[in-house]
Amino acid sequence: MDRPIQKKKWPPKRIALFSVTGLIVFLLVYVFYSTSGSSTLKIDSQKITISEVISGKFQEYIPINGTVMPISTFYLDASEGGRVEQTYLEEGSFVNAGDSIMRLDNTDLHLDIMYREAQLFEQINNLRNTRLAIEQNSLTLRGQLVEIEYQIQKSKRRFDQSVGLKEKNLISEDEFEQARDDFEYWTSRRDLTFETQRQDSILRAIQISQLEVSVERMQANLEVVKSKLDNLVLRAPVAGQLTSLIAEIGESKSRGERLGQIDILDGFKIRAAVDEYYISRISKGQEGTVKIASEEYDLIIRKVYPEVREGRFQIDMEFNGPEPDGIRRGQTVQIRLALGDLADAVMLARGGFYQKTGGNWVYVVDKSGRFATKRNISLGMYNPQVYQVLEHLEPGEKVITSSYDNFGDYDKLIFKDQ
């Protein structure tokens, strides 16, 4: 008689199937929680930077580089072109107003002066000859008038005699008329000579006046041209230091070409270039500070240049108080230019975390110091040292401020050395 065989409840195949299924479920659950934001990462606290959130006075500022310059500079340009004949001073020399610096030579200018002098002498000779001709003509007219007066007297005397003889019928009618006509002729001629002399005098006076004006004008032009000879000698317009002299013996210089410059050493200013991003926030009267020889000095903006070149614009700043000793023209300094006033604020040190988070979140260290968790925050203005904290961080809390590039998207960082 056959005996029934009972099946086993957990055969090996079934156990293997359930084991595989359970493993798959476990992996799915692990992956789900790993990607749902509750994952953790162990890190070495010795390889990160942790900064404490603080409260205090915050001021937004930017660091800029500036160059020390004299407050006033006089540029030396060539008033006249020419060849450099001689230099009397060297760069770096101290000069007084009127000191000769260099001498140029201009052959064309000398020839021009000689030509103008010849023209002037010719015009002066014309004036002299015209005056002489007037005098000669005046003498001739006077001689003519003397002769006419003499003829008038003779003809009048003859005419008067003819009148008496005519009354006695002792001369003919023809002789009488001849005597009368002679008298009238010389009288009319005297009047005509007087009028000719008057008109000639007026014309000659106008001619002389024109010649005199021409001579005066030519003399003035000649003086102007001669004054250009003085311009060939470059002289210092003010007292100061000759910081630049661009000239070599024999070198040709054009009119208006820069020859050098003189710095007035009564004070210094600092010229700096600022990124055009800040152009709307920079204005005259803004303040800054500069550290020179371990001492800090106050500065104030005196001039803002509106022109933007290669993404930058320039400003001039002067010392708002005592100037440092020993500064030199051309010295480079770093300025802290304030963009706002001092104000109470909560602050967080700047660091590499910002490149990844954009200031929207950070890892905040727990009070136990064993781990750090992700927290959303809000940052405001900043300067090269700190950010202004607007929300979700309190003074005394500690934040990881070094780079987050190796942290991935983990919500929690555990310090494995704690």
Query: 138 is written with which tokens?
Result: 């005046």
Query: 124 is written with which tokens?
Result: 């002066």
In a domain, 3, yes or no: no
Q: pLDDT by residue (tens digit) across 7-26?
A: 555 566 666 666 667 677 66
What does the pLDDT read at residue 9? 53
Which residue, of 296, 311, 338, is where some domain finishes? 338
List beta partners, residue 289: 298, 336
Which residue, of 283, 304, 338, is where some domain finishes? 338
Residue 1 predicted with pLDDT over 50: no
- Would the pTM count as exceeding 0.85? no
Residue 34 predicted with pLDDT over 60: no
Q: Which residue range is the domain that position 117 belongs to?
A: 108-228
For every residue of 150-208, DSSP letters joined together read HHHHHHHHHHHHHHHHHHTT-S-HHHHHHHHHHHHHHHHHHHHHHHHHHHHHHHHHHHH
In a domain, 158, yes or no: yes
CB contact set of 15 (below 8 Å; sequence gap of 6+): none
Give the Cα separation of 368 and 374 in Å (integer). Answer: 16
In a domain, 89, yes or no: no
Give the Cα separation of 139 and 158 in Å (integer). Answer: 29
Co-location of 163 and 220 in the same domain: yes
Beta strands (DSSP E) in 215-370 are 233-235, 240-245, 252-253, 258-275, 287-292, 295-304, 312-319, 332-338, 343-349, 361-365
Task: Give the residue-averaged pLDDT of 340-344.
Answer: 83
In a domain, 359, yes or no: yes
What does the pLDDT read at residue 26? 65
Q: What is the CATH number of the domain that holds 332?
A: 2.40.30.170
Residue 36 predicted with pLDDT over 70: no
Co-location of 359 and 320 in the same domain: no
Q: What is the pLDDT confidence band of residue 313, given thresholds at 50, 70 and 90?
A: very high
What does the pLDDT read at residue 6? 53
Question: For the chain, how many structural domains are there in total?
Answer: 3
Calculate the average pLDDT of the chain.
84
In a domain, 234, yes or no: no
Task: Give the residue-averaged pLDDT of 141-168.
Answer: 83
Co-location of 221 and 113 in the same domain: yes
CA distances from 277 to 274, 387, 397 (A): 8, 19, 33
Q: Which DSSP letter does residue 309 get?
A: B
Beta strands (DSSP E) in 78-159 are 82-87, 94-95, 100-105
Q: What is the CATH number of the domain that holds 377?
A: 2.40.420.20
Give the Cα separation of 204 and 211 in Å (integer). Answer: 10
In a domain, 83, yes or no: no
For every residue of 387-406, DSSP letters joined together read EEEEES--TT-EEE-S--TT
Question: In this structure, what are the phi and psi dihedrals at residue 18, rounded to the nearest 5 degrees?
Answer: -65, -35
Which residue, of 173, 204, 228, is where some domain finishes? 228
